Chains A and B, each alone.
Chain A
Amino acid sequence: MKDTLGIIFEEGTDAGLGTLTSKRSLAAVPIASRYRIIDFILSSMVNSGITNVGIITQKNYKSLMDHLGAGKEWDLNRKIGGLLLIPPFSYSEGLTSEKGELSELAGALDFLEKSPQKYVLLSKSHLIGNLNFNDAFEEHKNSNALITILYQKLEPKSEISGLKNRFFIDTDESERIKEIKAYSSTNESNKISLDIYIINKEYLIYLIRDGLASLERGMFAEVISRRLNHIRVKGYEAKDIVARIDSIKTYYQANMMLLEKDIREKLFFNPGLIFTKVKDEAPSKYLESAVVKNSLIADGCIINGYVENSIIFRGVRIEKGAVIKNSIIMQDAEIRENGILEHVILDKEVIIRHDIRLTGQESYLVLINKGAIV
Chain B
Amino acid sequence: MQKKELIALILAGGQGSRLGALTKSVAKPAVNFGGKYRIIDFPLSNCTNSNIDIVGVLTQYQPLELNSYIGSGQPWDLDRSFGGVYLLPPYMKAEEGTWYKGTANAIYQNINFIQMFNPKNVLILSGDHIYKMNYAKMLEFHKKNDADATISCIRVPWEEASRFGIMETDEDMRIKEFYEKPANPVSDMASMGIYIFKWEVLKKYLTNDEKDPDSSNDFGKNIIPKMLHDKQKMFAYKFSGYWKDVGTVFSLWEANMELLGTKPLMNLFDKSWRIYSKNPIQPPHYASSESEIVNSMITEGSVVFGKVENSIISSGVKIGKNTHVENSVIFPGAIIGDNCLVKKAIIGERTIIEDDCKVGVDDFVDNQAVSKMCSDDIVLIGSDQVIKAKSSIAKNVMVE
Given A282-B269, A283-B34, A285-B260, decide whether A34 and B297 contact each other with a Cβ distance below 8 A: no
Q: Does B291 contact A (CB under 8 A)?
A: yes
Give the residues from 101 to 153 in chain A that come closer than 8 angstroms, CB to CB, to chain B. Answer: none
Contacts of B299 in A (CB 8 A): 283-284, 299
Contacts of B260 in A (CB 8 A): 285
Contacts of B36 in A (CB 8 A): 282-283, 299
> A243-286 vs B: 1/0 string, CB under 8 Å?
00000000000000001000010001000011100101011111
Q: Does A48 contact B (CB under 8 A)?
A: no
Contacts of B275 in A (CB 8 A): 280, 282
CA distance A340 to B91 in the complex (A): 62
Does A292 contact B279, Cβ atoms closer than 8 Å? no
Q: What is the interface residue range for chain B against chain A?
A: 35 or more
Name the CB-closest residue of B to A43. Answer: B281
Q: Does B292 contact A (CB under 8 A)?
A: yes
Give the residues from 271 to 317 in chain A that come closer than 8 angstroms, CB to CB, to chain B. Answer: 273-275, 278, 280, 282-288, 290-300, 302, 311-312
Does B74 contact A32, Cβ atoms closer than 8 Å? no
Spot the interface stretch: B98-106, B282-290, B367-375.
B282-290
State how many angstroms separate the Cβ of A331 from the closest Cβ of chain B: 12
Partner of A32, one of B276, B284, B297: B284
State how many angstroms separate the Cβ of A312 from the closest Cβ of chain B: 8
Does B293 contact A290, Cβ atoms closer than 8 Å? yes
Does B294 contact A295, Cβ atoms closer than 8 Å? no
Q: Does A338 contact B (CB under 8 A)?
A: no
Which residue among B34, B75, B288, B313 has the maximum number of chain A CB atoms within 10 Å of its CB?
B288
> A3-46 vs B: 1/0 string, CB under 8 Å?
00000000000000000000000000000111000000000000
Does B279 contact A280, Cβ atoms closer than 8 Å? yes
Does A294 contact B287, Cβ atoms closer than 8 Å? yes
Partner of A283, one of B283, B292, B295, B297: B297
Does B274 contact A280, Cβ atoms closer than 8 Å? yes
Instruction: Tell me the count of chain A residues lying within 8 A, CB to CB, of chain B.
Output: 33
Q: Does B268 contact A (CB under 8 A)?
A: yes
Q: Does B262 contact A (CB under 8 A)?
A: yes
Contacts of B269 in A (CB 8 A): 282, 285, 300, 302
Give the residues from 244 to 281 in chain B that come closer than 8 angstroms, CB to CB, to chain A. Answer: 260-262, 268-269, 274-277, 279, 281
Contacts of A284 in B (CB 8 A): 285, 297-299
CA distance A302 to B262 in the complex (A): 9
Q: Does B354 contact A (CB under 8 A)?
A: no
Q: Does B114 contact A (CB under 8 A)?
A: no
Does B287 contact A72, Cβ atoms closer than 8 Å? no
Partner of B295, one of A72, A286, A293: A286
CA distance A292 to B291 in the complex (A): 7
Does B284 contact A33, Cβ atoms closer than 8 Å? yes
Pick 15 A–B contacts, CB within 8 A, sort by A.
A259-B286, A274-B283, A282-B269, A283-B268, A284-B297, A284-B299, A286-B294, A286-B295, A287-B294, A288-B294, A290-B294, A292-B287, A297-B285, A297-B287, A297-B298
The 8 A-B residue pairs whose C-beta atoms are closest, nearest first, are: A33-B284, A283-B299, A282-B268, A283-B35, A268-B283, A283-B297, A292-B287, A296-B284
